[in-house]
Amino acid sequence: MSATRLEIKKTYKLYIGGKFPRSESGRYLPARSASGTRLDNYAHASRKDFRDAVVAARAAVAGWSQASAYNRGQIFYRAAEMLQNRASELVAEISRSTEVSSARAKCEVTLAVDRLVHFAGWTDKYSQVFGSVNPVASSHFNFTTPEPTGVVVILTPDEPSLLALVTLAASVILSGNAAVAIASERFPLPAVTFTEILATSDLPGGVVNLLTGKRAELVPHIASHLDVNAVVDGTGIAELGPPLQAGTAINLKRYSNHSLTLRDWFTPKAEDPYWILDTIEYKTAWHPIGL
C-alpha cells in the first residue's frame, strides 16, 4: 500500500545584506497565481526587516560608491550573463505566477537582460553627460560632478514584477547608491528568484536588498526613516504618493514617481537616463589654474 505524498511548498525568503533571512516576525503569506491557485509561500516583511535592510544598504554604500565606474559596469554585465543563463527558470516563474504565455514571459526576461546591459553602459557615461565644467571669472577650474545620494527605497509595481524591479534597481545603483526594493505585492516570486541570481553574482551584498509583503505596512516606516535618502515610487498607486511625500519633510529625502503603464515598461520609456538624476546629488569643486 503506497502512502500519499504531500508536496513541500517552497518558502521564499527576504534578501538582506547578501543573505536570505526569514522575516523576524515569523510571518509568511501564500503566493497565488493570477487565478488564485496556491503556489508557494513568501516572507511577510516587518518594520524590523525594513530597518535591517536599510542598515545593510548603508553599510554597502561606501564600498560600492568608491568602486570605479568601469567596475560597476562589468558587474552589471556579469549579472546580465547570469540572468540570461537562468532565463528558462525566470520564464517559468513568471508564467506560473501571472499566467501569461511563455512567449510573453520570455519577452519580459529578455528585456530584463537587455535593461541590465543598457544601464551598464551608463555607469561610465552619466558623469560626463550630466556633469559640467563651468566658466568662472577667476583663474580657476570649476567642476560640477554627480555623486550618489546614498540609500534609496524602490517600490515596484505588481506587473511586470521582474522587468520593473530590474529597471528601477539598475537605474538607481549604477551611480553608486544602494537600494532597498519592495517587491510586487501580487506576484513577488519572480523578484525573489532574481535576487537568488544576484546573490551568486559579483554584486556586493547590501547593494540591492529585497523585501516582500504588504506595501501599506511598510510605507509609514519608509516615509519616517531618517537614514533613507530617496524614494523611487514605481507602483502607479495614487494612494501611496501622499504619505511617502509627507515623509520627505522629515529628513529632506527625495521622492520621485517613476511609474509607467504595463505596456510602457516594455518600451524605451523605461530606459530614460534622466531617471538617474533623481537619485544623485551634485558637487561643485574649485581648483586653481597653475602657471
Residue spans of the domains in the chain: they are: 13-29+39-288
Percent of the chain scoring above 70 in pLDDT = 99
Q: What is residue 95's predicted lDDT score, i.e. its pLDDT?
A: 95
Burial label for 176, CB within 10 Å (0-12, 13-18, 19+), is: buried
Q: What is residue 287's predicted lDDT score, i.e. its pLDDT?
A: 82
Does position 5 have pLDDT exceeding 80, yes or no? no
> What's the average model confidence in pLDDT over 263-287?
93
Q: What is the pLDDT of residues 117-138, one digit of tens each?
A: 999 999 999 998 998 777 888 8
Q: What is residue 291's predicted lDDT score, i.e. its pLDDT?
A: 56
Q: What is the pLDDT of residues 73-110, one digit of tens each?
A: 999 999 999 999 999 999 999 999 999 999 999 999 99
Name which CATH class applies to 13-29+39-288. alpha beta
Per-residue confidence at 3, pLDDT binned at 50, 70, 90? low
